[in-house]
Amino acid sequence: MKAQQFIQDILEEEINEFLCRGKSERIKGIDTRRGYRNGYGSPRKFALMNGTVTVSRPRVRATDERFESKVLPLFKRRSKEVGEMLPELYLHGLSKGDFELALRGLLGDGAPLSASSIERLKAKWQDEYDEWKKQDMSSLKVVYQWADGIYVKAGLEKDKAALLIIIGALTNGKKVFLACESGYRESKESWSALLRDLTARGLKLGRLTIADGHLGIWSALGELHPAGEEQRCWNHKIRNVLDAMPKRIRAGASGYLTKIPYADTKAECQRGRDAFVNRYKKDFPKATETLTRDWDRMVIFYSFPKEHWAHLRTTNVVESPFSIVRLRTDAAKRFKKVQSATAMIWKLLQVAEKSFRLLKGFWLLSDVYEGEWFDDGILAQEQRTLERMAA
């Protein structure tokens, strides 16, 4: 588990601090400090929010003083926070771009984390991130992918750089991070470079992409994956429609809007759209035009299994890991460049990935992957059978 490795890394740095040298590093001839590593103690288990992790405490011998881990008791005492590592780390420090503060916020002020320890951890995770970006992806059977650009306001960058995130749903129902790269949210070039890298590593993009209508990914997909289907995010659509209306009207209008994508059939959904347009077009034409724009791409989810609709209407799959920490604030403010924060945030996302639940109706994903089509959420063949029986 990613959380398990995360904790083990910190334990290794604690022992490095105690011995004043890294693992496998020999004592210099003039160094009078005593002590050396002596394997590991019995594995210890901690129950976290997303499962149980097992870590091993490094042991030492021939030291002038007894080594007692200060980190393990802290993790044992605060395992709930470790299980919710992403929001905890963010709230305790990443909002200020201070990773040391983030770890101390999680473990407490007594945690033996020096500046050099922090730098070694950051360097290690940067190396892991670089290796992750080189992994072969040809074995992944991706059915759907969700994309979004999460803003990170770095201190010295004039333009709004973002983390470009893609999460894929596999045929076994698991959701995995496919991409986490700095770039520009509305830039076709940024998304094209990211997609080319994924396909160069063997990734076959899924049948359906879900994203905000303003993302540059759509232009990139038009060239690189023209056969793929496109679903616009209903959350973004509703926000954009309401933004085109006076605040005094929004509460009532929201009640109408939020019901539209939850209709049982595409025809019923379109009747809901028409009712909204008829009600508000005269006074708020910009709002109704916003609703009807790209309409065919708003209702493509009806061509996929009904069991999957809850996942396909919006980009919540991407937004959920950031639901508490939403990086559209002053996140990473003290980083000079977004790239400085990318590996760190990627590490946290790897931990968050382990708590992802299987897609609802995951047993239907293989059908979608193989090219089956659905009418109003029902397998097309079954739909035709039902129609014949009704006739």
Question: Which residues touch 100 (CB under 8 Å, ≥6 apart)?
Answer: 93, 113, 115, 118
Can you tell me the distance from the alpha carbon of 323 to that of 119, in angstroms, rounded to the nearest whole number?
A: 28
Cα(186)–Cα(231) distance, integer angstroms: 17
Q: What is the mean pLDDT of residues 149-171?
A: 75
Cα–Cα distance, 369 to 302 (Å, whole number)? 16
Residue 349's pLDDT is 80
- Bridge partner list, 77: none
Three-state helix/strand/coil letters over the chain: CHHHHHHHHHHHHHHHHHHCCCCCCCCCCCCCCCCEEEEECCCEEEEECCEEEEECCEEEECCCCCCCCCHHHHHHHCHHHHHCHHHHHHHHCHHHCCHHHHHHHHHCCCCCCCHHHHHHHHHHHHHHHHHHCCCCCCCCCEEEEEEEEEECCCCCCCCCCEEEEEEEEECCCCEEEEEEEEECCCCHHHHHHHHHHHHHCCCCCCCEEEECCCCCHHHHHHHHCCCCEEEECHHHHHHHHHHCCCHHHHHHHHHHHHHHHHCCCHHHHHHHHHHHHHHHCCCCHHHHHHHHCCHHHHCHHHHCCHHHHHHHCCCHHHHHHHCCCCCCCCCCCCCCCHHHHHHHHHHHHHHHHCCCCCCCCHHHHHHHHCCCCEECCEEHHHHHHHHHHHC
Confidence of residue 138 (pLDDT cuts 50, 70, 90): very high
User: What confidence tens digit (pLDDT) does each residue in 279-304 have?
Assistant: 999 999 999 999 999 999 999 999 99
C-alpha to C-alpha distance for 59 and 55, rounded to whole angstroms: 13
Against a cut of 0.75, is the pTM above it?
no
Would you say residue 102 has pLDDT above 80? no
Of 21-35, 62-76, 118-132, the least confident? 21-35
185-213 confidence digits (pLDDT tens): 899 999 999 999 999 999 999 999 999 98
pLDDT of 381 higher than 70? yes
Query: 48 or 363: which carries more pLDDT confidence?
Result: 363
> Cα–Cα distance between 328 and 337 in angstroms, integer?
15
- Residue 246 or residue 3, greater confidence: 246
Please report the pLDDT score of residue 123 as a whole number.
83
For the record, the structure tokens of 268 come out as 């019923």
| CA 361 to chain CA centroid, nearest Å | 21
pLDDT tens-digit map of 69-96: 666 665 554 454 444 454 445 444 444 4
Q: Is-contact 93 43, C-beta < 8 A?
A: no
Indicate whether 227 pLDDT > 70. Answer: yes
CA 75-81-82 angle, to 5 degrees, is 55
Query: Does 363 score more than 90 pLDDT?
Result: yes
